[in-house]
Amino acid sequence: MADARSERTILLLVAAVQFVNLLDVMMVMPLGPDLARGLGIAVSDLGLVGGSYTAAAALSGVAAALFLDRFDRRAALAVAMVGLVLGTAAGGLATGLPTLLAARVIAGAFGGPAAAISLSIVADVTPPERRGKAMGFVMGAYSFAAVLGVPAGLELARRGGFQVPFFAVAGLGLLVAGLAIVLLPSLRGHLASTRDPLDGAQVPGSALRELRALVGRPLVALSYLTTATLMMASFLIIPNISAYVQGNLGYPRERLGLLYLAGGALTFVVMRTAGPMLDRFGAFRTSLAGVALLAAVLYAGFHAYVPGLPVIGVFAAFMTGTTICNISYSTLASKVPLPSERARFASIQSAVQHLASALAAILSARMLRELPDGRLGGMEGVAALAITFTLLSSPLFLWIERRVAVELASRARPLEPLARGR
């Protein structure tokens, strides 16, 4: 554990890493129409751009779960950040769809592990009684990326072309990587758990055996299924939302940053208020509010657009519903693994998130088509599928919550005789 001052410095650095990582992902989707115009890409193929990143992040997440814990966190983070910077900068040098996809694959291959390492560092340096607050601080980077980063990236693209945001994020990432290398202490305390207690040698194959045991448990498998369901519901829409509101709903490009500013600010408020709701009502009942809102806005805003419905209201409602569902599930999922399994569980969960996101983005790209007038055709079917996944998440929430309650009770039961004997 670090002292208080060092802990604050580390958390600030980790939050900065998360900000760059999230901004790299989030800015590409609203830049879709700009990329289409600048590189001659069909609007209906934009889902492939987001899907290539998430597919690469998913594959690297599975691989990283086997070896990341065997290296100094600082060194591992430095390598991941440098790779992310190179992949992001390559996006600004893209000349067409193939080169852009290659750049996003490189960024995803390093961005996924960078996120996993960042959260591992938080757990390494903060005691359990402060870890929730620390995680909340670091995850707040999502809101800042939406409120500050995405509008800034859109404005840079409007003034200087789609290449400028890629280079700007790469430059910021290089600065953050340098600060992390200089200011982060060496973090090697976790390495003791991978060594033989008798001779200190590395224990071969132990990570693979532990990983198989984890993913083989029914409750863990059910949890990963719920992760995939929620990601499919969101990422059928997210990669195409910028093109949809501009082409189908007539929202002006110059005001696109306002959507992300309003949506990000609202998400920040939701993240601050959802915690007390979860503590009071539980994950399942809290998630019902998100499911109902998300299903309603998917129907009224995307499946059968209601004339006169404000675009900014559709966008804000979509982000709010998605945020409530995701926060509810993250809270519930944190209770699934044993304390000794949390890092492995989170690594595979991240891989499942990226894989499901990639599948949804690619599926939506195949279902959509660009019409002669610039609108996206096929959004009705994509929205209907997203509604199906959204509604499917509710029984999964309930099932997991009940199974978790049973498991927590069974874990506590052996301690009861000892407590009575004291």
Confidence of residue 275 (pLDDT cuts 50, 70, 90): low
Q: Does domain 206-408 have CATH number 3.40.140.10?
A: no
Tell whether the model's pLDDT for residue 145 goes beyond 60. Answer: yes
394 Cβ contact partners less than 8 Å away, ≥ 6 residues apart: 284, 287, 288, 291
256 Cβ contact partners less than 8 Å away, ≥ 6 residues apart: 30, 154, 242, 245, 246
The position carrying tokens 């093109």 is: 243
The per-residue pLDDT for 185 is 76
Reported as a single tens digit per residue, the pLDDT across 177-204 is 888 888 877 766 655 544 444 334 444 4
Q: Are the CB atoms for 165 and 153 separated by under 8 Å?
A: yes
Reported as a single tens digit per residue, the pLDDT across 351-383 is 888 788 878 888 888 888 878 877 888 889 999
The per-residue pLDDT for 393 is 92
Q: Which CATH code for domain 1-188?
A: 1.20.1250.20
Task: Lowest mean pLDDT of 259-268, 298-307, 368-377, 387-396, name the range.
Answer: 259-268
For range 328-343, the mean pLDDT: 72
Confidence of residue 305 (pLDDT cuts 50, 70, 90): confident
Task: Lowest mean pLDDT of 200-214, 337-351, 385-399, name the range.
Answer: 200-214
pLDDT > 90 in the chain, percent: 16
Q: Of residues 340 and 190, which shows the higher confidence score?
A: 340
Instruction: Measure the CA–CA gap between 122 and 144, rounded to whole angstroms.
Output: 19
Whole-prediction pTM = 0.69
The per-residue pLDDT for 271 is 67
Residue ranges matching CATH 1.20.1250.20 in the chain = 1-188, 206-408
